[in-house]
Amino acid sequence: MLRSARHPMQSDQSGFTIIELLVAVMIIGVLAAIAIPAFLGQREKAEDAGAKTAVRQAASAAKSYYADKETYAGMDVAALREIEPSLSQAPGTTLAVSGTGEDAYVLDVTSESSNHFTWSEADDVATRTCTAGGNGGCPSDLSW
């Protein structure tokens, strides 16, 4: 009894003050504000990498089409998918074929992040371009 009268302020309870909790929440908020945009940028790059892979596969299928027919005329998405079935399984990408002729074609793949990746070939010279320079997987010079 005498002991409790001498030390009335001592307690076995301990914890964090409201200021310490607020500082911890603020630190977590700042870290999240930095990490979330960086994560979203990496996600867009990954989606664009999938689109680049799809357009490369389509270009390979176009070469196979040319080897069989000796022309690119008449080549369409269905013909490329028949040659390369994995083009039907590319999630979130759309493939378009245009400009087909005797020795030229244009392939365009749109990624989930809405960037366009184009592979055009004429007279055995390939050109690779994209539409959103400096955004996602498209370099600022618009050539990948």
Question: What tens digit of pLDDT does each residue of 65-80 get?
Answer: 999 999 999 999 999 9
Tokens representing 1 are: 């009894």
pTM for the structure as a whole: 0.71
Query: pLDDT digit string (tens) for 13-68?
Result: 688 899 999 999 999 999 999 988 888 778 888 888 889 999 999 999 999 999 99
Closest to 116 (Cα-Cα) out of 88, 100, 95, 87: 95
CA distance 13 to 17: 12
